[in-house]
Structure 1
Amino acid sequence: MQNTTHTHCLRCGRPLTSAKSQAAGYGPTCARHIRRAQVELTDYKAHQVASAIDLIEDGAIVLIRDQVFAAVSTDGTETHLVHPAACNCKAGLRGTRCYHQLAARMLLAA
């Protein structure tokens, strides 16, 4: 996990006041919405679900415009543009559903 401190919620943009929220990148309400988000997971493997959750918890996926996110690659060397239906990572360019797309779906469902 990164040691990044966020001043605003990565989901709603509101200021974060508690140290716990600043470390997580999400306020308690947004974090609860993300945890409860119902997303169809049958098309994803267990490791993809775990990676999507890690991506969200690390604050490594951020909404940049309507339904388009910027997500950091697993090794932290690249940034991908992600939409719930497409991603410009290697898997996404092959037409395979990637964990970046799943993370985007989870955030939009919350």
Structure 2
Amino acid sequence: MASTETHTNCLRCGRKLTSPRSIAAGYGPTCGRHIRRATVDLSEYKPHQIASARDLIEDAAIIPLRGHVFTTISTDGTETYLTHPTNCTCPAGRQAVRCYHQLAARLLLAA
């Protein structure tokens, strides 16, 4: 009999996720705790950018690609961007403005 169990991997460490809560979050409990406790200099960002970066991580809309590069999904889900802690291909990032995608990448890398 074939197994119909759906599984995904943690977006931070790559380990297999088995609990429904972890699968929904995209992170295991330990990685989630590390991300929540990560300290990054937030002085360069506005409060709404900080909230958006945390939402991006909670929604598992930022996915490690390779090295320090991530794929991020736009707020409305229609576009994807390549994001690095210092650069992003989103409209704000192309204008050399710090965006919340970059902050989310910084938070994940600090964890």
TM-score between the two structures when normalised by the length of structure 2: 0.93
The CA deviation at 1:75 is 1.0
The CA deviation at 1:6 is 6.0
- 3-state SS in 2 of match to 1:101: helix
Q: Is the 8 A contact 1:52 1:102 kept in 2?
A: yes
CA distance in 1 between partners of 2:76 and 2:24 (Å): 20
What is the percentage of aligned positions where both structures have the same residue?
69
- 3-state SS in 1 of match to 2:8: coil
Deviation beyond 4 Å, 4+ runs, structure 1: none
The CA deviation at 1:47 is 0.4
CA distance in 2 between partners of 1:73 and 1:23 (Å): 19
Cα gap change, 1:6/1:67 in structure 2, threshold over 3 Å: closer, same or farther? Answer: farther
Q: Is the 8 A contact 1:6 1:23 kept in 2?
A: no
CA distance in 2 between partners of 1:6 and 1:54 (Å): 23
Aligned residues: 106
CA distance in 2 between partners of 1:76 and 1:32 (Å): 26
CA distance in 1 between partners of 2:25 and 2:83 (Å): 21
Question: For the aligned residues, what is the CA RMSD?
Answer: 1.0
> 1:34 maps to which residue?
35
Unaligned runs of 5+ in 1: none
Q: Are residue 52 (structure 1) and residue 43 (structure 2) matched?
A: no
> 2:16 maps to which residue?
15
TM-score between the two structures when normalised by the length of structure 1: 0.94
Unaligned runs of 5+ in 2: 1-5
